[in-house]
């Protein structure tokens, strides 16, 4: 133990003597660890945000959406619609309590002589308010819910201040395609930028504005009766949709995804896992490059210090002593790089978190787990030791007389 302490001191001294080279080598590791720590804490943060949002959805709702869920672009571009027969079919499925249909589109909205294209959703206030409050986590920051059948609108939390130049207040009038609507309610943030910058209208008015056929919709949320299996009902809805489609169009292609919020979470989790894996892959490459840097530095060091190694062996150093000293040097480089990279990575994560809190438009959080820090530090130390091992062994195996003779 006593000896180990001395070897550690010698290793530190050696690194300090070659400080520029040591720092440059450390920098190589810093970059790699910084990448791993910052990217992983960000992706962990995103994962938590998404999980939180999905939790807000509640567990007892089934979504019927156009297209394949695994392909989000197709989902919104497919233009597939739920026809009246589809919706009626869903309503008839055993266990279904309420079917809330929704449509959405970007529309030109005027507010006090200012026109902006705003994402506008139509949903039935009659059935919708309860479902949205209970399962989507909607709540009003100001005002009240619209009365069905009246030209009243609810706006997302950011529409109040951030969309139009002038603040949109309760009682203000907004004009969409020449029709006037009164703003009667402002929502609390729903946790996504798109939802928070939307305007919500009663479905019949929305359909009048857009020319969408009454009774149809782009998607639906299904609330089930108490005591009914969610998955079972989802399956039945899917079957009902397929049957209706087949009868009407002779095709049984599933252009709709019927999913539960739980399943949605799984899918998001899967996607994030792939992203995290990719991040680890890329950052590992950076670390490997850093490790090669350590190896290079250590080989140079062994060459330069061949004579010193010879001296140490002549005055009684065993192979193990030399090996330990060189391993310490490489390990210290790795660990220092790990500490630097972790500190930088955590700083970035913290900055993003603070920024995210100050700017509600920026839905980005970073989560730093202690496990990640421990992983960063031990991984970099390990990389250091591994890359230092071959050079250190080369040093330890030098014959004293040859080491002394060289570079004389």
Q: Which residues bind another protein (CB under 8 A)?
A: 2-3, 6, 10, 13-14, 16-17, 307-308, 311-321, 399-401, 404, 408
CB closer to another protein out of 241 and 298: 298
Indicate the DSSP class of residue 163. Answer: I
Output the smallest distance, CB 304 to another protein, in A.
Answer: 11
SS3 116: strand
Output the smallest distance, CB 306 to another protein, in A.
Answer: 12
**Contacts of 153 by beta carbon, 8 Å cutoff, 6+ apart:** 146, 174, 181, 182, 183, 184, 199, 200, 201
**Contacts of 135 by beta carbon, 8 Å cutoff, 6+ apart:** 57, 58, 60, 61, 221, 223, 261
CB atoms within 10 A of CB 36: 26
Nearest C-alpha neighbor of 301 from the set 7, 19, 1 = 19
CB closer to another protein out of 16 and 226: 16
CB closer to another protein out of 303 and 318: 318
- Tell me the C-alpha distance between 243 and 251, whole Å: 9
Query: Per the structure block, which two tokens stand in for 10?
Result: 């010698």
Output the smallest distance, CB 404 to another protein, in A.
Answer: 7
CB closer to another protein out of 155 and 325: 325
CB closer to another protein out of 18 and 193: 18
- Tell me the C-alpha distance between 183 and 161, whole Å: 14
Output the smallest distance, CB 360 to another protein, in A.
Answer: 56
* CA-to-CA separations, 393 to 249, 287, 298, 385, in angstroms, rounded: 74, 22, 11, 11
* CA-to-CA separations, 362 to 37, 192, 196, 253, 299, in angstroms, rounded: 21, 9, 12, 38, 47
CB closer to another protein out of 107 and 311: 311
Output the smallest distance, CB 388 to another protein, in A.
Answer: 18
Output the smallest distance, CB 378 to another protein, in A.
Answer: 28
């Amino acid at each position: 133990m006593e000896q180990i302490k001395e070897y550690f001191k010698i290793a530190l001294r050696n690194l300090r003597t070659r400080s520029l080279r040591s720092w440059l080598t450390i920098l190589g590791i810093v970059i790699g660890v910084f990448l791993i720590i910052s990217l992983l804490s960000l992706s962990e943060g995103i994962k938590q945000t998404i999980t939180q949002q999905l939790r807000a959805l509640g567990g007892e709702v089934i979504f019927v959406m156009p297209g394949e869920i695994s392909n989000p672009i197709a989902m919104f571009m497919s233009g597939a619609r739920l026809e009246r027969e589809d919706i009626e079919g869903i309503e008839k499925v055993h266990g279904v309590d309420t079917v809330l249909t929704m449509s959405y589109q970007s529309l030109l909205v005027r507010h006090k002589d200012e026109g902006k294209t705003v994402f506008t959703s139509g949903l039935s206030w009659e059935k919708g308010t309860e479902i949205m409050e209970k399962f989507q986590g909607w709540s009003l920051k100001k005002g009240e819910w619209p009365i069905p059948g009246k030209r009243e609108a609810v706006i997302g939390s950011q529409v109040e201040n951030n969309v139009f130049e002038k603040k949109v207040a309760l009682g203000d009038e907004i004009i969409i395609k020449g029709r006037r609507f009164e703003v009667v309610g402002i929502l609390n943030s729903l946790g996504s930028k798109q939802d928070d910058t939307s305007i919500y209208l009663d479905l019949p008015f929305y359909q009048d504005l857009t020319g969408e056929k009454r009774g149809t919709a782009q998607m639906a949320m299904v609330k089930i009766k108490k005591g009914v299996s969610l998955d079972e009902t989802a399956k039945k809805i899917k079957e009902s949709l397929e049957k209706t489609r087949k009868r009407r169009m002779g095709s049984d292609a599933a252009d709709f995804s019927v999913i539960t919020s739980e399943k949605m979470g799984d899918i998001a989790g899967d996607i994030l896992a792939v992203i995290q894996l990719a991040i680890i892959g890329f950052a590992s490459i950076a670390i490997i490059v850093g490790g090669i840097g350590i190896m290079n530095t250590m080989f140079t060091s062994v060459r330069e210090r061949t004579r010193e190694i010879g001296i140490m062996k002549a005055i009684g150093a065993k192979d193990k002593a030399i090996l330990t000293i060189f391993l310490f040097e490489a390990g210290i480089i790795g660990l220092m790089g790990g500490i630097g990279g972790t500190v930088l990575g955590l700083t970035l994560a913290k900055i993003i978190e603070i920024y995210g809190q100050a700017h509600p438009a920026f839905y980005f959080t970073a989560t730093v787990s202690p496990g990640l820090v421990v992983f960063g530090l031990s991984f970099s130390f390990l990389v250091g030791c591994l890359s230092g091992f071959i050079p250190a062994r080369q040093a330890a195996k030098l014959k004293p007389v040859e080491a002394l003779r060289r570079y004389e």
